[in-house]
Homo-oligomer: A and B are copies of this chain.
Amino acid sequence: MRPVDVVDRLLKDRNRTPGTEGRAYAPVNIALCKYWGKRDRALRLPVTSSLSVSLPELGADTTVRPAETADRFILNGHPVPATDPSATRLSRFLDLFRGDPHPHFEVCSVSTVPLAAGLASSASGFAALVLALDAYFAWNLDRRALSILARLGSGSACRSVYDGFVEWHAGERADGMDSFAEPLRRAWPGLCVGWLRISDAPKAVSSREAMERTTSTSPLYRAWPGRVANDLHTLRTAIREGDFETFGRTAESNALAMHATMLDSWPPILYWHPRTVEVLHDIWRARAEGLPCYFTMDAGPNVKLLFERASRPDLCARFPGINVIEPFCIRS
């Protein structure tokens, strides 16, 4: 099945005539159990389920309007050249939704994700775009359908249509209609995510390429789905019980396992910088000295610490330059 067929099915009987403007916000999310490996590349269907927490303060605020002769993208006030790879990717995604009249779109997006934070912005970007399209066309789709549409833009975007803890069900169907995210509906008021920027240099290997190289060349990857099934179960239980130690340990170990499968690939993929290793040893030392802190990492050199509010002063003293967000404590 092609993405356009998925869209046609979800938008059956829905309006394809655009309005004048649609606007929406979506947060970034950090995976605690990683999405690593696709079973269908075109539909962005994952090998395994995954689990994330959204960071409500950081995200994309996106407005969709009709455009005259061609798509126009404005990011943080600056036009994105049509030849830019991100513009090409967006236009290809928008091909799935072109209305009549006004087949072209102007997409203005303001990202509150600090550039160089080492936080993937494509998840919040595609989620906000899908939510804005829903408003623009007045589809009034349910969240499940919106999650599937966001997934077609960027896999992990399907988790960014919700706040809080979110699980993306891998699903089994070839058409991906059972591969969407759902909120866990559990809050963890004292939870803190602190990110440490190590580098914002462009990555030599894109996450997408790393994921594909891993699934096609890493022998150890064969054991990844079994690990994820266990990690998801453990994380859900730890979240339900508010068991921070199990929560942190499982998230940290899952992230390290993802990096392990990259090392096991050929050519090997190592996103870490020397400073990354320094930070990991610092975190383990802090923990050995009694500070309850864990970390997660995505496909990059940066490190995201996980801790509870009670440890926040100690953590900030120990890791100057850390940026802390409390995902369940939304600023008014």
Contact = CB atoms under 8 A, between A and B. Distances in A.
A277 interface: yes
A270 interface: yes
A220 B230 CA distance: 12
Contacts of A272: 277
A134 interface: no
A321 interface: no
A263 B277 CA distance: 12
A227 interface: yes
Given A227-B220, A261-B220, A278 B268 contact: no
Given A223-B222, A223-B223, A227-B220, A264 B270 contact: no
Interface of A: 219-224, 226-227, 230, 249, 252-253, 256-257, 259-261, 263-264, 266-268, 270, 272-278, 280-281, 284
A267 B275 CA distance: 21
A276 B223 CA distance: 27
A304 B268 CA distance: 17
Nearest to A230: B219
Contacts of A249: 266
A57 B249 CA distance: 45
A260 B219 contact: no
Copies in the complex: 2
Main secondary structure of the interface of A (DSSP, over half): helix
Given A219-B227, A257-B219, A277 B266 contact: no
A273 B277 contact: yes
A264 to B, nearest CB: 5
A259 B276 CA distance: 16
Q: Which of A252, A256, A266, A270 has the most CB of B within 10 A?
A: A256
Contacts of A273: 277
Contact of A252 (B268, B276, B281): B268
Contacts of A281: 270
Contacts of A278: 274
Contacts of A263: 256-257, 259-260, 263
Contacts of A230: 219
A230 B220 CA distance: 12
8 contacts: A219-B223, A219-B226, A220-B260, A223-B223, A253-B266, A256-B264, A270-B281, A273-B277
A117 to B, nearest CB: 22
A256 B268 contact: yes
A193 B278 CA distance: 28
A264 B221 CA distance: 12
The list of the 6 closest CB pairs from A to B, nearest first, reads A274-B274, A260-B260, A219-B227, A223-B223, A220-B220, A260-B263
Contact of A275 (B219, B226, B274): B274
Contacts of A260: 220, 259-261, 263-264
A268 B227 CA distance: 15
Nearest to A275: B274
Nearest to A257: B264
A253 B276 CA distance: 21
